[in-house]
Amino acid sequence: MFQKITRIVLSTIFLSSFISLGQNVLTPEILLNLKRLSGGKVSQDGKKVLFEMNQIDVQNNRGNVDLYVYDLASDKYTQITKTPFSEMEANWGKNNEIWFLTTEKETVQVFKMNADGSDKKQITSPELKDIDGYKLSPSQNKIVLIRSVKTSQTLADKYPELKKANARIEDDLMYRHWSSWSDENSKQLFLYDIKENSVSGAGINILENEKYNGVLPPFGGSEGIVFSSNGDKIMYSCKKKIGKEFALSTNSEIYEYTIATKETKTLTTGYNGYDKHPVITKSGKSLAWLSMARDGYEADKNNIIFRDLATGKDRNLTAKHDITVDEFMVSPDEKTIYFIAPAKGTSQIFSLDIKTGNIKQLTSGQFDFVSIEYAPNQLIAARQSMIAPTDLYSIDLKTNKIKQLTAVNEAILSKLTLPTVKEEWIKTSDGKDMLVWMVYPPNFNANKKYPTLLYCQGGPQSMVSQFFSYRWNLALMASNDYIVVAPNRRGLPGFGQKWNEDISKDWGGQSIRDYLSATDFAKTLPYVDGDKMGAVGASYGGYSVYFLAGNHEGRFKTFISHCGLFNLESWYGTTEELFFANWDNYGPYWLPENKEYYEKNSPHKFVQNWDTPILVIHGGMDFRVPEAEGMQAFQAAQLKGLKSKYLYFPTESHWVSSPQNSLIWQNEFFEWLAGDLK
């Protein structure tokens, strides 16, 4: 079924004909051709919904994002941009104007236009380069721009005469982070006046050129910034730490900047973990945010803190509930908070009564909600599942009835026979109940025996939910005639805080035994070919594959590990966010009290037991799990004489992002599996 990448015709014409010529299951090419919907922001009058759609262009190895507006009255949506460059971070302004970022003028700039796409104007002047995000004030007379500016000296500054030199000198940690090397720049927050639909000049740097970033790196942006209701203050989430201090701590704070006095004060003193996503209520009387209690624990319980700004009194609205919050919003009447939280292998929408603290689950079903917005008498939400990419839905707040608003990939999906997903609850080795998602091939035949894949989740504290991935796509695996076994093993949210925390300082323990329990359960099913089983995974899932390779007792015939941690000692010496390594793996391997842990939990200590083919995949720009982890594993397999292959992407990070590299990834992935399991 899978041809070499050099034989793949990279065009939309081929893709459409590929479907029409009888190919009726999901393929890597079809997967990349699906439209990727995001957003779902409701206009201030509550009548329209703004969303973005990313369409991949494989031939040019890029994506392009356009903007769409859904009219709630007519139940129709309209594309309002169609350009060769992307329109991003779109938001509603006053009078149903749309503000957005675009690269139309070669550098990223802020534009605005009418809701129908007409009367487009550039707001920021061309000299304002390197704009990474923005936040409008309520009256739209001020704007905060996130801009990268030089805040440190370089070797080129020290040695200006050595123009061809190429060197770095480091004297602190965090010199690289996730997928990029640190440089002389940091993301600063600049305040500007908007005059006659124009922004220009130097602006006011509210961080005063300090070396830290004004947003939470590496992925934080404008969602961490909010104006007060009258526009006189700016609240922002920031970790004002650099170097080793940054590497060892998750303690971010929410700060308040008063525009008139240019004074900054800390609002979250005494809150020791991540504090982020500040929200000002419509009346301006209250501030809400997400808060983790423990410094250094990136997967701690996310609570909603609600502050009365007049009295300064805080209430932890979710403290008594065994639930962790992913995203939230406050209703306009300030009586209710709506939020998304993990719930037994799915992500669902809940309501929280601010006065009483009572929580109700509003939705249920075999899907994930990934965003929510408020509209009159309803919520607008984006939803996906393992077999359905993201679309927009409405939830009636009186009846909880869910209505699908968009079906952006219907033309493609309607021609496909899709897999089916079944929920199974099995017993673990210690007698606990564990949810396992079973994904069955299209046209499943219970009288047939299928090769089967154990899917090992990353994170490690990342739920095996009803996610739709454009790389680790379980529906695509099943469409290649594999049964997929996806356990919600120990160390995942959605099953209570204890279940989530049981993996910390026990990486090679109960979570691995949970994988083996799921594998042994699958082998009892008459349609599972127990002699043709593989284990696949990335990040902690890749670690799991390496660990299983030395401890699987003949259960598997092949392995695939992407960006896995192979040697916990070398990983500790090269990773960057050390708070994670310290919390989950005790900390430095050189401390005598940690020696036994590393001996028992590092996969490289079990290589003597390796006897099974393995495909190792890694990215050269992965600084979370540096490339040497994959190289060590591949070298060990080669020296042991095992069938093995190393797939290396020099410019990819912890993920494979570029379209053509993604096709190579999928092609090699399934070619390897077919060689051992079919």
Q: Residue 630 and residue 636: Cα distance in Å, rounded?
A: 10
Tokens of 235: 């609240």
Q: Residue 287 and residue 278: Cα distance in Å, rounded?
A: 7
- Partner residues linked to 289 by β-bridges: 305
% helix, strand, coil for the chain, step of 5: 20, 35, 45
Q: H or E element: which one contains 543?
A: helix 540-549
Q: Is there a catalytic annotation at residue 295?
A: no
Q: Which amino acid is at 168?
A: R
Contacts of 456 (CB under 8 A, 6+ apart): 515, 535, 536, 537, 540, 541, 542, 544, 545, 548
CA torsion through residues 93, 96, 101, 106, sign? negative
Of the residues 137, 654, 662, 676, which is catalytic?
Answer: 654
Q: Residue 504 and residue 515: Cα distance in Å, rounded?
A: 16
**Angle value at C-alpha 324, between 320 and 327, nearest 5 degrees:** 125
The angle that helices 510-523 and 540-549 make with each other, rounded to 10 degrees, is 70
Q: Is there a catalytic annotation at residue 644?
A: no
Q: Residue 667 and residue 234: Cα distance in Å, rounded?
A: 49
How buried is residue 550: exposed, middle or buried, by Cβ count under 10 Å (0-12/13-18/19+)?
Answer: middle
Q: How many CB atoms lie within 10 A of CB 269?
A: 8
DSSP-derived secondary structure for 422-478: EEEEEE-TTS-EEEEEEEE-TT--TTS-EEEEEEE--TTT----S---SSS-HHHHH
Of the residues 539, 561, 644, 653, which is catalytic?
Answer: 539
Q: Is there a catalytic annotation at residue 539?
A: yes
Of the residues 351, 622, 644, 676, which is catalytic?
Answer: 622
3-state secondary structure at position 123 = coil
Contacts of 164 (CB under 8 A, 6+ apart): none
Residues identified as active-site:
539, 622, 654
